[in-house]
Amino acid sequence: MKNIGQLMKQAQEMQAKMATMQEELANLTVEGHSGGSMITVTMNCKGEMRKIKIDPNLVNLEEIDILEDLIMAACNDAKAKAEARVSEEMAKITGGLKLPGGMQLPF
């Protein structure tokens, strides 16, 4: 069994790795698509929107509701991919460490 000093050292190392990972997440991007890629949203893995690209064929004032729905779907797709990427990166750092009852690491 590890002594408390070793556990504290490991916790400090994990904290440093998490700080580095948070910086890296701001630079990692994912794309979400909707409408057969007629709408593309790019966001970083911290959930910040970086770019929206709309196929010019979609711009029709009579179909603005469809355009708005497609943008929302693309945003949600990108956010889900960002959350999945964050989980993958966290698993690399924690090595599968299960945190007790509802405890979460800061983001």
pLDDT, tens digit, 9 for 90 and up, residues 44-85: 888 788 888 888 888 888 888 888 888 889 988 998 898 888
- What pLDDT shows up at residue 97? 66
Q: Is residue 49 in some structural domain?
A: yes
Total domain count, the chain: 1
Measure the CA dihedral 99/75/44/46, to 10°.
Answer: -30
Domain boundaries, position 53: 26-93
Q: Is residue 80 in some structural domain?
A: yes
The residue-averaged pLDDT of 81-103 equals 74
Output the domain CATH number for residue 34: 3.30.1310.10
Whole-prediction pTM: 0.56
The residue-averaged pLDDT of 32-50 equals 88
